[in-house]
A and B are shown apart, each in its own frame.
Chain A
Amino acid sequence: MGDKTMTADEAVSRLESGTTLGIGGWGSRRKPMALVRALLRSTITDLTVVSYGGPDVGMLAAAGRIRKLVAPFATLDSIPLEPHFRAARESGSLELMEIDEAMFMWGLRAAANRLPFLPVRAGIGSDVMRVNPGLRTVTSPYEDESTGVRETFVAMPALRLDAALVHVNRADRAGNGQYLGPDPYFDDLFCEAARTAYVSCERIVDTAELTKAAPPQTLLIKRLNVNGVVEAPGGAHFTSCVPDHDRDESFQRLYASMPWPEFAERFLAGDEQAYRTAVEAWHEEQS
């Protein structure tokens, strides 16, 4: 069992511009923000980002790193609209594949199952078809038992990822990842749909430690789907990573209201440690 531990910068150094990148979490929940911050420190750009979007999308869009976004939404949860995603859309600087939440999941499932598509009862009748003219439909080869009809569904194409970034509560050095919050989101699916995956975690522990206090079904991510493990305490900040920490609401409000260049200069100019120090200093100013 190899040791896959690395730093966030090392993980990001394995990515390339133009890559298709899946980012785990949901909205402003358990986003791999330390890895996103490492991406922002790199020169990587021209990304196709696949995400249930939150501030990961907002920050990468604000920094001009996204060429194309595949998403059903972008939100900060307690702040409904992601300001930088909005700005990018309203300025026309973002190419968007806007699909429904379930279509998105089926796209990842298709990729994970090495299928070109999966049929979904979603999308038809909506403008998702109009704004994604590349989406095809598929007619069932079977007549429905009750209606006698061969129904036509959207053939949701596989969302194959070059790389996935996710953040979990615990991991071992080999890449077994554990979530301790109530919802796994789709982080395992992101890893399965990707050629390579990088998992950051609040704390790296010994393998035996993972199941000492938590049941085995919390072991969400399997090491065979993982290429790198990054220990990043507070690595989801300012999004939530329960039970380790809740969302930093006051800092999120700052992010949503501060002009991006000022935010980036104050908080993102240095490394992860500098980020933490700057956040602490800001909180102290507020108290």
Chain B
Amino acid sequence: MRIFNSTSINFLRYRKIAYGVSLAILLAGFVSLAVKGLNYGIDFRGGSEVVIRFEKDVPVGEVRSVLRDAGVSGTLKQYGLDRSFLLSTVFSGETNDLKLLITSALNARMKDAPHEIVRIDAVGPSIASDLKWSAVKAMVAALLAILLYVGIRFELKFAAAGVVAIFHDVLIVLGLFSLLGGVFDVMPLEMDQSIIAAFLTIAGYSITDTVVVYDRIRERIRNQKPSEYERIFNESMNQTLSRTIITSGTTLLTVFVLFLFAGPAIRGFAFAVFAGILIGTYSSIFVAAPLVFDWLRLSKTPVRLRGSSKS
């Protein structure tokens, strides 16, 4: 079976539009980050979360008022599990007291709907600040490592454009999280450790598609005149289009399965990776390669290449 057989799309012709679209989306994300900010989970802001599951459906308003009357501060939302609610409140190292407060209030006022506390997460402020720093350090280290590696494997212009593409992918997903944070009850899209894992996965994966395109360009651009570059770039992208799409496709399949089946704890992560891979596929064709092309065009020197893939 073949899906993208012998296409001849003039990708470079659309690059200005693509740059514009990318910048617009990035800008929207930045504005949202500045205005609305991110919906931080307790990993990064500290606090306690309690998941309460009832044996039958109960209205969220009722639970809310019972807990409020009992003096439990915090917000109560539907949780992505059946008949379950998520209570977010301030950090307390004394989880016992919190549990007692919740349990006695619900037992007293909602006797006909037995409940069970199925999960408790409590993160103190010092741990939260520690996690925040770890996340920042991991992101920076990952980007440096990838930059270094791609820099060794490809010449500078390729490597730099590849890393720009990674930033592009991760920042767009970050913007999406800010824009859509708290919009959906099924997935609140909170920033927590799992989202950092998603970002690192996106960063690692983003380069995959890019490298596939780069490899082909590098193979064909050898000893060619700069006037031929545009043709070579376009042909290379068309030749590799099928594998770019299929490699992303198989991974998207599995991430989609995670989104559907793996439950609410993984949902935000799966959403981030799914979006990241989609954007990464687009950026490898419309951002990374065109940037190299423009750079070559402006610098007017023929490429000197390293890392021959001729064997």
Q: Please say whether chains A and B are actual partners in one complex.
A: no
Binding site for B on A (CB under 8 A): none
Chain B residues close to A by CB (< 8 Å): none
